[in-house]
């Protein structure tokens, strides 16, 4: 009878912990599967809620610690932890988004401060001896040894991560490690904040905007007749491609390549030094060696082999691309002896090359890619492929008037929510990215539906002009499809564990489910669904499409070498660099650019200061090309059986998107392909 009472007590205790986690309400994160009230977020709310969240999680974890060893189970220890951490992470995801997207400066500042505290709390959690002991004790039980599938993987990887975080160290050493991690959290948050908040611009004359269309000029016209060109993508990229003024392009690119350099060159040195010290403290030779242990690649040697092998494979195509650009420059300048194409010239001459040799005028092509049409096509394709429906929610609670919210519906049931924040504004996240907010997971009340936001910087429509998007390799249309792939990975997950949900997969696989969707922007069967002239409604003509495809891989070698360059900078800083040496990160950029690229390094520039991936993707930027190998291989199945084939779409949804991290990435890919993966489709996609 006494044992029965103990069982009942701990069952009720677990129920209490899970219920309070799921259903404790506040004014922003309301009840189970209800909308987040973003419009009500204030600095005061952020200040109070983030402290409360840490206190609540502490109490819930204590309940887990206090369970006697013989009473531990997967549900009352591992699942209880996953549930408790999920509520905490949902608030963190909400506040992290506000730091990058909220229009109010005080709210962003409060969110940035909270993010530092959250990160430091996360460091404490990763070194929580009682939590580690709870997991370790359970892992030794007979019940734990019978675990299979995602439960076995979750327990094994959790213990692995604890031990990577220093549980082979003494308590005193772990306390030292926490200080290191806390210091690093402050540095990395400042690095990102400096990029987001950096603003600069170039004032140019009428002569210097020659080549740009009237709508572009009208949007940037000043009262004195000059033009203000900021550094956001919709301003910078067209100017670099179309302005006939070389001096203006050179001046603007210098500003662009020095974004946040006033603060972040020092911050990057600190970040690299702290990461190296932490890795050495844990017994690793480099931060890359430490972090890659949990990736598909496993170690830096594998990544170096991958990057260097790609250079050899792509260099010849890159050389041919460069010679094409050089020929254009020689013709346009009348100088047959010129042998260099500079960074501020590549987009300009590439545009001329496409227009004159390949007869593809990017500005004319844009007329077939009005933003709303692209959005409709993206929605139509993905809804059809995956058997879902997106319903716009009117009067949704959002953080800015331009933000829209959609519910993902499957057979009448809401299975996810996502937000679209598409246009640039001051102090907003400067690129395009998916921000997960709430993860999907199984609860005793049903499946918790995931929530995510898509932050972009696409052109905004005006009274006189629609929002026309660039369509080219790495253009805005392709970016939209890519980032929506991340949204879908979050929306269509069915993982039972929050920690395995959606994009919680290995960092060097996470880009594959997004990169695969870029292919739908290049197939005529899908393009004709949405590529329609913004004035006439005419579908993209087949002859223009064929010219676009012929020009698709113009510059593919240069572009791929660019990705290798970024990945190699990242890997060098985190594997072969000591900030205590005389060599600087600028020295690294100069050396690698002159070695890998055909455009020479430009003295006085420091692009790495605004290379935000050095924060979130530290030692993992290689994952973009690594995962693209798998993305292109998986797309070959769609090519074979129909890119709009809902049966293939369902199989992809079930085998790749739904599991999240429940299985190893290679296992997912092999199951979908029905064979071992290979790089043939990847090289074909580059025109090799």
Which residues are the active-site residues?
483
CB 659 within 8 A of CB 668: yes
Say how many CA atoms lie within 13 Å of 152 toward its Cβ. Answer: 9
Q: Which of 683, 581, 583, 588 is nearest to 632 (CA)?
A: 683
CB 391 within 8 A of CB 406: yes
For residue 44, the SS3 value is helix
What φ, ψ does residue 178 adopt, rounded to 5°? -60, -40
In angstroms, the Cα distances linking 279 to 271, 614, 616 are 12, 16, 17
- Which residues, including other chains, have CB under 8 Å from residue 95's CB and lie 6 or more apart? 46, 49, 50, 111, 114, 115, 118
In angstroms, the Cα distances linking 522 to 207, 352, 386, 458, 624 are 36, 21, 20, 19, 19
In angstroms, the Cα distances linking 61 to 57, 88, 160, 197, 224 are 6, 12, 19, 37, 62
Rg of the chain on CA atoms, in Å: 26
Exposed/middle/buried for 41, CB within 10 Å: 0-12, 13-18, 19+?
buried
For residue 431, the SS3 value is coil
Q: Alpha-carbon distance 497 to 502, whole Å? A: 10
Distance of CA 189 to the CA centre of its chain: 16
For residue 407, the SS3 value is strand
Q: Which of 541, 522, 439, 451 is nearest to 482 (CA)?
A: 522
Q: Alpha-carbon distance 125 to 23, whole Å? A: 23
The tokens describing 134, both together, are 């709870």
Which residue bears the tokens 């100069």?
A: 590
């Amino acid at each position: 009878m006494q044992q029965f009472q103990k069982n009942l007590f701990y069952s009720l205790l677990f129920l209490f912990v899970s219920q309070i986690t799921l259903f404790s309400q506040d004014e922003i994160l309301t009840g189970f599967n209800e909308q987040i009230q973003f419009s009500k977020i204030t600095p005061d709310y952020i200040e109070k809620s983030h402290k409360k969240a840490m206190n609540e999680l502490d109490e819930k974890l204590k309940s887990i610690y206090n369970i006697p060893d013989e009473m531990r189970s997967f549900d009352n220890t591992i699942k209880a932890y996953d549930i408790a951490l999920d509520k905490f992470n949902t608030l963190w995801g909400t506040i992290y988004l506000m730091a990058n997207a909220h229009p109010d400066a005080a709210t962003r500042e409060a969110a940035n401060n909270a993010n530092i505290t959250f990160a430091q709390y996360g460091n404490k959690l990763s070194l929580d001896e009682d939590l580690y002991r709870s997991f370790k004790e359970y892992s030794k039980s007979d019940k734990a040894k019978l675990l299979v599938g995602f439960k076995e993987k979750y327990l094994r990887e959790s213990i692995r991560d604890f031990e990577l975080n220093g549980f082979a160290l003494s308590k005193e050493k772990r306390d030292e490690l926490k200080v290191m991690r806390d210091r690093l959290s402050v540095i990395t948050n400042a690095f990102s904040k400096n990029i987001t908040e950096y603003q600069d611009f170039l004032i140019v004359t009428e002569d210097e905007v020659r080549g740009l269309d009237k709508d572009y000029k009208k949007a940037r016209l000043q009262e004195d007749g000059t033009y203000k060109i900021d550094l956001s993508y919709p301003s910078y990229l067209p100017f670099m491609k179309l302005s006939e003024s070389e001096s203006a392009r050179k001046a603007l690119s210098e500003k662009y390549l020095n974004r946040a350099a006033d603060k972040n060159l020092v911050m990057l040195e600190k970040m690299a030094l702290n990461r190296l010290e932490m890795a050495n403290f844990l017994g690793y030779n480099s931060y890359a060696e430490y972090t890659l242990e949990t990736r598909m690649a496993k170690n830096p040697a594998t990544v170096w082999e991958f990057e260097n092998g790609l250079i050899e494979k792509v260099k010849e195509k890159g050389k041919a691309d460069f010679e094409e650009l050089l020929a254009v420059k020689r013709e346009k300048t009348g100088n047959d002896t010129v042998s260099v194409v500079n960074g501020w010239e590549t987009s300009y001459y590439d545009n001329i090359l496409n227009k004159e040799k390949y007869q593809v005028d990017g500005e004319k092509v844009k007329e077939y890619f009005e933003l709303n049409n692209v959005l409709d096509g993206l929605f139509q394709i993905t809804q059809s492929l995956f058997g879902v429906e997106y319903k716009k929610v009117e009067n949704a609670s959002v953080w800015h008037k331009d933000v829209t919210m959609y519910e993902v519906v499957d057979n009448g049931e809401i299975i996810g929510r996502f937000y679209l924040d598409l246009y640039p504004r001051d102090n907003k996240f400067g690129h395009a990215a998916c921000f997960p907010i709430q993860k999907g997971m199984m609860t005793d009340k049903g499946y918790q539906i995931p929530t995510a936001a898509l932050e972009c910087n696409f052109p905004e429509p005006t009274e006189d002009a629609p929002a026309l998007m660039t369509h080219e390799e790495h253009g805005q249309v392709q970016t939209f499809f890519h980032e929506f792939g991340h949204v879908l990975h979050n929306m269509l997950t069915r993982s039972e564990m929050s920690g395995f949900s959606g994009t919680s997969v290995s960092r060097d696989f996470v880009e594959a489910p997004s990169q695969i969707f870029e292919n739908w922007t290049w197939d005529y069967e899908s393009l004709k669904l949405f590529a329609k002239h913004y004035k006439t409604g005419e579908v993209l003509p087949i002859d223009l499409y064929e010219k676009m495809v012929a020009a698709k891989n113009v510059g593919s070698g240069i572009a791929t070498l660019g990705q290798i360059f970024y990945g190699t900078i990242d890997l060098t800083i985190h594997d072969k660099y000591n900030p205590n040496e005389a060599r600087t990160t600028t020295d690294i950029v100069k050396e690698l650019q002159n070695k890998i690229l055909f455009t020479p390094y430009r003295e006085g520039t420091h692009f790495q200061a605004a290379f935000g991936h050095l924060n979130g993707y530290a030692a993992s930027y290689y994952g973009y090309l690594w995962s693209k190998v798998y993305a292109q291989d998986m797309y070959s199945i769609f090519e074979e059986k129909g890119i709009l084939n809902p049966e293939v779409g369902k199989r992809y949804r079930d085998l790749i998107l739904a599991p999240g991290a429940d299985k190893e990435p290679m296992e997912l890919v092999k199951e979908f392909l029905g064979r071992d993966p290979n790089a043939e489709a990847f090289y074909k996609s580059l025109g090799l």
